[in-house]
Amino acid sequence: MELLSVMLMNNQHKEAHDLMLKLHKDLETLFDTKLEEKAQSVWRGEINKVFKGDAYERATFYALMALSFIREQKYEDAVRCVKNGLLADADSNNEDAVADYALLHYLGYLASKKMNNTADAEIYWRELHAALESRGIVLRNKDGKIIDGNCFEQLQKRNPNVLLVVWAGVPPTVMCTGEYKEIRSIIRGVNHFDAMTIAVDDAQDIYMPNNLGDIDYQATSRGGRLMDNVLADKATAKKAMEVSRNVFFIFGSGLLAAGARTMEAPMVGLSLMGAGAGCYILGGTAWIIGAMMNPTADGRYWHNLPGQLYIVPLELTPGEHKVHISGFHRSDRAANCVFKIQVQENNMSVIHLPMMQQGKTAFQNAAQKIVEERTNVIGRAACQRMAKEIK
């Protein structure tokens, strides 16, 4: 999956598509019952299992695969990918977060519309609205009418021949904490931009639809996993072994010391020392068993995903075009990037554009500038705190 990200960023579309087909086959067919049993056993770590990614990673993979099929104008296959992605998204312990991946609903809408399947397109469009509104994103006024200027409605009005896929923000990360690294937590990344605009060939800026492909939200809203309970039980058992070891060693030390002090009564002393030695043996056994237990969680994750995927549908003439993308933090323009894209004739162009590092660099520069410009006004320490918050 990480190799797939690199290929898409390098515009290696054919290689990426071939890799997706292989990944899809592995996701659907690769199982190993023995490795699953090892991962759940007391003696082996979760790292032993066949790891296919978290629900949000599998759902995002199918979204990228749907985009690849849309590029090849194989819209039925794209719809199948959307359905697989929604099934992956439904793998959640949080009932309120099931099937709320708005990007998948939009891709289903677009592919259905390209096939002139208006009934399915309407269903996907309603689901798109429901997914966004479930997160408190307001698309309608109190009378139920669509808000004028809503950039999501612009998606519906277009019949694009170009899809720009803008990767922005820091991806969610996985941290394993706890005494034995048994607690697996997904930490939300940082999206450096509150809003993004795009202009093509020096035309007027338009806002990109936000929260459509919010990978950070998807990663952190799934709830816990069944495996978390298994790992917690393993950690409890390992802790019990360690406590038992300490108790046996303490009792053994006490009995040996008592036996040494009562050697005037040899039988009593030898009995106490024998009992102490037995406690040491039991403590050593508990230590060995505890050391062999492995409750460590699997900390792998898809490192080079973005925090958000922005989808921009466009209707452009064949040839070269200049795309100007701006990222905003609050009301300030934080980053500007210019890309040159090639639009093919009689084809559906899907072009991936990176804005991850640009945002990070822009904010680091802004933070440093604040420190340099305001040091004499509010003090260097205060400026550094402000700069840290911006980072």
pLDDT tens digits, one per residue of 1-11: 889 998 998 88
How far, rounded to the nearest angstrom, does the alpha carbon of residue 327 sit from its chain's CA centroid? 22
The string of pLDDT tens digits covering residues 77-121 is 999 999 999 998 887 776 666 778 999 999 999 999 999 999 999
Query: Which of 51-55, 108-112, 163-167 is predicted least confidently?
Result: 51-55
Q: What DSSP element (H or E) covers 267?
A: helix 266-292
* Model confidence at 215: pLDDT above 50: yes
DSSP assignments along 306-375, one per residue: -SEEEEEEE---SEEEEEEEEEEETTEEEEEEEEEEEEPTTS-EEEEEE-HHHHHHHHHHHHHHHHHHHH
Residue 28 has pLDDT above 50, yes or no: yes
Q: What is the pLDDT of residues 251-260, one digit of tens each?
A: 778 777 777 7
In contact, 194 and 260? CB cutoff 8 Å = no
pLDDT at 220: 87
Token pair, residue 344, equals: 């093919």
The C-alpha atoms of residue 210 and residue 168 are separated, in whole angstroms, by 11
The CA radius of gyration of the chain, in Å to the nearest whole number, is 29
Tokens of 336: 């500007």
Q: What pLDDT does 264 receive?
A: 66
> pLDDT averaged over the chain?
79
CA distance 67 to 350: 7
pLDDT given at position 262:
73
Q: What is the DSSP string of 65-103?
A: HHHHHHHTT-HHHHHHHHHHHHHHHT--S-GGGTT--HH
Predicted confidence band at 315 (pLDDT cuts at 50, 70, 90)? confident
Q: How far apart are CA 344 and CA 346, in angstroms?
A: 6
Asked if residue 280 lies in contact with residue 252, where contact means CB atoms within 8 angstroms, the answer is yes
What is the Cα–Cα distance from 113 to 312, expressed in whole angstroms? 16
The encoded tokens of residue 219 equal: 């990663």
- Length of the chain equals 391
Q: Are 338 and 321 in contact (CB under 8 A)?
A: no
pLDDT at 386 exceeding the cut of 70: no
